[in-house]
Copies of this chain bind each other. A is one copy, B any other.
Amino acid sequence: MRTISIAPLALSALGLLGTIAPAAAFDAKEIGSFHIGGQALTLKGLPIKELVYTAGGPPTKMDPNGDFHSGQMYVQYIKLTNPKARYPLLLWHGGGLTGVTWETKPDGQPGWQMYFLNAGHDVYVSDAVERGRASWSRYPEVYSGEPVFRTKKEAWEAFRIGPDSSYATDPVERKVHPGQRFPIAAFDVFAMQSVPRWVTNDAKTQAAYNALVAKVCPCVIVVHSQGGNFGFNAALAAPDKVKALIAVEPSGAPPETANLAAVKDVPQLIVWGDFIAQSELWTKLSGASTAYHKALAAMGGKVDWISLPDKGIKGNGHMLMMDTNSDHVAELIQNWMTDRGLMQ
């Protein structure tokens, strides 16, 4: 085989850039962001405090009462000069994380945002309500309950990097699943991406996602983990707007009592990694999307299922967009989008 070396820019300008060239350049027309969803609210009756905001600055009276916005989410977009996809691609992260999930890998390698930009998609990376740049609101006055902070142990085990009870504070004592593809040496770097979450805001989060779909779709949505339910429900709410849904390790799915016929013609792909049987949590959680897939398939729905180990791709845990073979997994998804007629 002969290899011709051409500068990435030239390739891209000529429209010759392959969809599996993760480190190449992309021609951006615009980068920007916006917040969407939520509503105005007013707090009253809280005590006034006195604070110094800037070292050396004067003390300022801090009155916590007043008008706020709450329930919004954050979305950053990059639009290409010459997109090759029919629709923008929306990337929705999972629980206790933010859009950073898609931007980078903890070993510093480029993430799926870069991959799909190179593949020719306008890409929208968002932070769900209460996470990251979406901001969060006072509790218990606005949010019910208190925030949950994920420990490294929970991440290590729930993300199937190692089996249950395999985490240790000292990295050298941690046990990993055999053949693990996560960049294990960078696990403590990955832990820096964690953000607190509430378990009481699902309705607000769904409302903001639905508002996002109404604003920027028709679109294709890639969801991860907790994003699964939000994506499936967004498609049920707007099946004309969601042109395809790719659910990567969805932690939940709508029950069979949902109006699944509404999304029968929405192309859907469900992707699972390895080590499910070794995880009590994921053996349970994967049941919902298994039943969803089965019910949709039974009514002739356009739903596909990829179990990576069943295809001979071993060693991927829950954060497979960060694994050493993440480009390979992205390529499978990209090829599925091509097959489903989602590229120009």
How long is the Cα–Cα vector from A243 to B60 in the complex, in angstroms? 34
Least Cβ–Cβ distance between A281 and chain B, in angstroms:
7
Complex contact A68–B152 (CB within 8 A): yes
How long is the Cα–Cα vector from A68 to B194 in the complex, in angstroms? 9
Complex contact A226–B54 (CB within 8 A): yes
How long is the Cα–Cα vector from A237 to B194 in the complex, in angstroms? 29
The residue that A103 contacts in the complex, of B28, B33, B149, B169, with Cβ under 8 A, is B33
Whether a CB of chain B sits under 8 angstroms from the CB of A310 is: no
Complex contact A31–B114 (CB within 8 A): yes
Whether a CB of chain B sits under 8 angstroms from the CB of A25 is: yes
Complex contact B191–A110 (CB within 8 A): no
Closest to A203 in B: B55
The residue that A281 contacts in the complex, of B13, B51, B60, B226, with Cβ under 8 A, is B60
Mask, A170-203, CB within 8 Å of B = 1, is 0000000000000000001101111110010010
Complex contact A9–B81 (CB within 8 A): yes
Least Cβ–Cβ distance between A277 and chain B, in angstroms:
17
Whether a CB of chain B sits under 8 angstroms from the CB of A108 is: yes
Complex contact A64–B149 (CB within 8 A): yes
Complex contact A195–B135 (CB within 8 A): yes
Whether a CB of chain B sits under 8 angstroms from the CB of A218 is: no
Complex contact B199–A100 (CB within 8 A): no
Lowest 7 A-B CB distances belong to which pairs?
A66-B151, A35-B192, A132-B133, A67-B152, A54-B252, A33-B103, A72-B192
> What would 7 more interface pairs be, CB under 8 Å, given A31-B113, A60-B281?
A8-B81, A30-B114, A34-B104, A51-B199, A56-B255, A68-B194, A74-B100
